[in-house]
Amino acid sequence: MATEPSPSGNLPVRSRLLSFSRAVAGCLLGVVLIGCLVWFTSEILDGIQKTRNTRNHRDDKCLANLRQIAVAIQQYHDFHGCFPPAYFVDEAGTPVHSWRVLVLPFLGYQELYDQYRFDEPWDGEHNRKLLDKMPSIYRCPEAADAPPGTTDYVAVIGARTVWPAHYSTKRSDITAGTSNCPLLLEIADANVPWFEPRDVLYEQLRHGFAPHHPDPHHATRVRAVTVSEDPVSLPRDMPVSRLRAFLAAAYEPFPGVDCPKEVERARVYRTEPISATDLKRTEIVPHLAVELTPGRNLVYCASFQMVWDKLVSEVVGAPIELEGDPALARVLNQGRFPLSSLADDCYLAWAGIATEDAINQLRQQLQERFPAGAGRLLPAPDPDALLAYAYFFKRLTFARDFDRLKEPMHFRTSGDTAAVLGFGIQDFTEEQNHLRIQVKLLDYVSDDDFILRLVTDSDSLVLAKIPRSRTLSETVSAVRQRIAAPLGSRLGPLDVDEPLSVPIISLFVQRSYPELQRPIRNRHSAGLWIASAEQLIRFQLDESGVILDTETGGVVLGEEELEPPKPRRFVFDRPFLVLLRQSDTDEPYLAIWVENDEILVPFHEE
For 457-498, the pLDDT digits (tens) are 889 999 999 999 999 999 999 999 999 999 998 888 898 889
Q: ∠ at Cα 12 (9, 17), nearest 5°?
A: 130
In a domain, 5, yes or no: no
In a domain, 163, yes or no: yes
pLDDT of 472: 96
In a domain, 204, yes or no: yes
Query: How many domains, in total, are found in the chain?
Result: 2
Q: Which amino acid is at 137?
A: I
Statement: residue 408 has pLDDT above 70: yes
Domain enclosing residue 385, as ranges: 274-286+301-398+508-558
Residue 345 — very low, low, confident or very high, per pLDDT cuts 50/70/90?
confident
Q: How far is residue 217's CA from residue 210's CA, in Å, rounded to a whole number?
A: 14
Average of pLDDT values for 525-536?
A: 85
Q: Identify whether residues 279 and 224 lie together within a single domain.
A: no
Beta-bridge partners for 579: 462, 591
**Can you say how many angstroms the Cα of residue 49 is from the centroid of all Cα atoms in its chain?**
38
pLDDT of 253: 64
Average of pLDDT values for 211-235?
A: 76
Statement: residue 456 has pLDDT above 80: yes
pLDDT of 487: 95
Q: Which of 238, 208, 544 is nearest to 396 (CA)?
A: 544
Q: Identify whether residues 319 and 239 lie together within a single domain.
A: no
Q: Identify whether residues 225 and 282 lie together within a single domain.
A: no
Average of pLDDT values for 103-107?
A: 93
pLDDT of 49: 46
Q: Identify whether residues 155 and 106 lie together within a single domain.
A: yes
In a domain, 527, yes or no: yes
Average of pLDDT values for 413-439?
A: 86
pLDDT of 503: 96
Q: Identify whether residues 117 and 215 lie together within a single domain.
A: yes
Q: Identify whether residues 214 and 328 lie together within a single domain.
A: no
Residue 207 — very low, low, confident or very high, per pLDDT cuts 50/70/90?
confident
Where is 244: in which H helix or E strand? helix 240-247
DSSP string, 375-396: TTT----EEEEEEEEEEEEEEE
Average of pLDDT values for 401-410?
A: 90
| Contact (CB, 8 A) for 414 and 386 | no
Q: Identify whether residues 239 and 310 lie together within a single domain.
A: no
| Contact (CB, 8 A) for 572 and 465 | yes
Number of C-beta neighbours around residue 485 at 10 A: 8
Statement: residue 577 has pLDDT above 50: yes
Q: How does strand 156-157 pair with strand 150-151?
A: unpaired
Q: Identify whether residues 159 and 110 lie together within a single domain.
A: yes
Q: Which residue has the higher pLDDT, 291 or 176?
A: 291
Q: How does strand 416-420 pair with strand 409-413?
A: antiparallel
In a domain, 181, yes or no: yes
| Contact (CB, 8 A) for 286 and 328 | yes
Q: How far is residue 331's CA from residue 346's CA, in Å, rounded to a whole number?
A: 26
Q: Identify whether residues 378 and 523 lie together within a single domain.
A: yes
Residue 208 backbone zone (phi > 0: left; psi -120 to 50: alpha; other: beta): left
Q: Identify whether residues 133 and 280 lie together within a single domain.
A: no
**Residue count (the chain):** 606
Encode pLDDT of 149-200 as tens digits: 999 999 999 888 889 888 888 887 787 666 678 889 998 888 999 999 999 9
| Contact (CB, 8 A) for 319 and 309 | no
Candidate from 148-152, 254-258, 428-432, 492-496 with smallest mean pLDDT = 254-258
In a domain, 258, yes or no: no
Q: How far is residue 77's CA from residue 404's CA, in Å, rounded to a whole number?
A: 37
Encode pLDDT of 136-148 as tens digits: 999 988 877 889 9
Statement: residue 132 has pLDDT above 50: yes
Name every residue whose Cβ is closer than 8 Å to that of residue 141 and which is 6 or more positions away in sequence.
Answer: 58, 61, 62
pLDDT of 560: 42
501-525 CB burial, b ≥16 within 10 A, e <16: bbbbbbbbbbbbbeebbbebebeeb
Boundary of a domain, candidates 540, 558, 576: 558
38-65 CB burial, b ≥16 within 10 A, e <16: eeeeeeeeeeeeeeeeeeeebbeebbeb
In a domain, 434, yes or no: no
Name every residue whose Cβ is closer than 8 Å to that of residue 166 and which is 6 or more positions away in sequence.
Answer: 85, 86, 87, 88, 89, 95
Q: Identify whether residues 233 and 369 lie together within a single domain.
A: no
Q: How far is residue 463's CA from residue 452's CA, in Å, rounded to a whole number?
A: 6
Encode pLDDT of 500-522 as tens digits: 999 999 999 999 999 999 898 88
CA-to-CA separations, 290 to 304, 331, 473, in angstroms, rounded: 15, 10, 7
Q: DSSP H helical segments within 433-503, as ranges? A: 433-436, 472-484
In a domain, 538, yes or no: yes
DSSP state of 194: T
Candidate from 367-381, 464-478, 582-596 with smallest mean pLDDT = 367-381
Q: Identify whether residues 319 and 197 lie together within a single domain.
A: no
Residue 400 — very low, low, confident or very high, per pLDDT cuts 50/70/90?
confident
Boundary of a domain, candidates 558, 575, 596: 558
What's the pTM value of the predicted model, to 2 decimals?
A: 0.62
Average of pLDDT values for 352-368?
A: 86
| Contact (CB, 8 A) for 459 and 581 | yes
Boundary of a domain, candidates 541, 558, 575: 558
